[in-house]
Every structure is written in structure tokens, then in C-alpha cells.
């Protein structure tokens, strides 16, 4: 079922989500709704959707991983790329990031390029996986949602501007 996406202002978006205890029918149904709702988003399209965005207080998210929509349950970060990169390039890359709970707003956010997580698969087994580049960015954004953090909080931390895309033009928005 395609669900309504909550706005970042909704109090449910700033709660810390609970771990999934058992992958039961209810959890499976939420994973299906997350996938369907993510797929249905056009203008703007989305690359990830977390359970709190559809009002479910559980540690689950859906993501578009190189063209494939996948579901991740109970993600825990095992490693994040913090080693000194070669030469003097930063290990973090700045990209314009947005969120389906705040459509048409974007900001240049720094995320780590690689992240290794453990998570629960749909069949209930524990898995470990490393994500890189855009997929790593999505994983970090979605795990933030499960901890009640939205990308605008990260922009404030990094003292970066927020822009609104209006008639194909970027308008800077004042963050208070």
C-alpha cells in the first residue's frame, strides 16, 4: 500500500525508532509499504525511505541501491570510513542531499564515502555489508531518520546552507 509521507515537522520524525524483534507479518507488510511508497515518488523522486516517514516507529528503511529497491532492518554501523585518505583529498564528499519529508529542499552535505553495517535480512538472518558512494550516503541518511535526525539537522551542524528549488532556480533559505 502506498502510504502518506510525513513532513519533517511531524513529531514522529524526531523519535528514536525501536528495534525489530521478529520479522513477522506486520514487519513484512511495513517493508512492502516502504518499497511501494518509495517507488511511487516522482517529482521529486526519492532514493530512500525510512519507517518513521510513514509513521512507523521501527528500525527499517527502503533504499534504491544502484537501481534495485532493497529493505534493511535493524541497521547498525560497524565501520565508517575515517582513515586518512590518500593525498590531501578529504574522505568526505559534499553532495546535494534532499529528503522526501521535505520535498524540493536540498543542501550540500558531507557524508562518509564508505559505511559497513550489520542488519537483519527479510528471512531473519544477520548480514554484514559495505556500501560505497551514493549507496553509503543513502544508508547514513536513513539511519539518521531511525535516530530522529533529518538532513537539515546535519546541515546546521556543518554550517551549510539550505536551498529550495523553485521554478528550476536555487533559492537560499535561512536556517534558524
Containing 51, the helix (H) or strand (E) segment is: none
Query: Cell for 139?
Result: 544508508
Question: Which lies closer to Ni ion via its Cβ, residue 5 or residue 20?
Answer: 5
Region near Ni ion per CB under 5 A, out of 26-34, 99-107, 121-129, 158-166: 99-107
Distance of CA 23 to the CA centre of its chain: 21
Question: Which lies closer to Ni ion via its Cβ, residue 23 or residue 50?
Answer: 50
Q: Note whether 73 binds Ni ion by CB under 5 A.
A: no
Size of the site for Ni ion (CB under 5 A): 1
The residue of the chain with the least Cβ separation from Ni ion equals 99
Q: Answer yes or no: are the C-beta atoms of 45 and 37 closer than 8 Å.
A: no
Residue 44: cis peptide before it, omega within 30 degrees of 0: yes
Sign for the pseudo-dihedral over CA of 151, 156, 158, 160: positive
Catalytic residue (choose from 56, 88, 142, 169) = 142
Please, what is the minimum distance in Å from the beta carbon of residue 107 to Ni ion?
12
Q: Answer yes or no: are the C-beta atoms of 109 and 151 closer than 8 Å.
A: yes
- Identified binder of Ni ion from the candidate list 99, 115, 120, 143, rule CB under 5 A: 99
Query: Cell for 94?
Result: 559534499
Residue list 120-149, contact with Ni ion (CB under 5 A): none
Please, what is the minimum distance in Å from the beta carbon of residue 35 to Ni ion?
15
DSSP bridge partners of 110: 94
Region near Ni ion per CB under 5 A, out of 79-87, 98-106, 124-132, 159-167: 98-106
Query: 142 an active-site residue?
Result: yes
Please, what is the minimum distance in Å from the beta carbon of residue 145 to Ni ion?
6
Question: Which lies closer to Ni ion via its Cβ, residue 23 or residue 98?
Answer: 98
Q: Answer yes or no: are the C-beta atoms of 50 and 60 closer than 8 Å.
A: yes
Kindly report the CA angle at 15 between 32 and 11, in degrees rounded to 5?
Answer: 95
Residues near Ni ion (CB under 5 A) are 99
Residues classed as catalytic: 142
Amino acid at each position: 500500500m502506498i502510504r502518506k509521507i510525513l513532513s519533517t515537522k511531524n513529531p514522529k520524525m524526531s523519535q528514536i525508532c525501536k528495534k525489530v524483534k521478529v520479522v513477522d507479518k506486520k514487519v513484512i507488510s511495513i517493508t512492502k509499504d516502504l518499497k511501494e511508497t518509495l517507488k511511487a515518488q516522482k517529482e521529486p523522486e526519492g532514493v530512500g525511505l525510512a519507517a518513521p516517514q510513514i509513521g512507523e516507529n521501527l528500525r527499517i528503511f527502503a533504499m534504491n541501491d544502484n537501481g534495485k529497491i532493497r529493505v534493511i532492518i535493524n541497521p547498525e554501523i560497524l565501520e565508517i570510513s575515517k582513515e586518512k585518505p590518500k593525498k590531501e583529498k578529504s574522505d568526505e564528499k559534499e553532495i546535494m542531499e534532499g529528503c522526501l519529508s521535505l520535498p524540493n529542499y536540498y543542501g550540500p552535505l558531507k557524508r562518509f564515502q564508505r559505511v559497513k553495517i550489520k542488519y537483519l535480512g527479510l528471512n531473519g538472518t544477520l548480514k554484514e555489508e559495505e556500501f560505497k558512494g551514493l549507496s553509503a550516503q543513502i544508508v547514513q541518511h536513513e539511519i539518521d531518520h531511525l535516530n530522529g535526525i533529518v538532513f537539515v539537522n546535519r546541515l546546521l551542524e556543518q554550517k551549510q546552507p539550505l536551498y529550495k528549488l523553485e521554478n528550476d532556480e536555487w533559492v537560499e533559505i535561512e536556517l534558524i
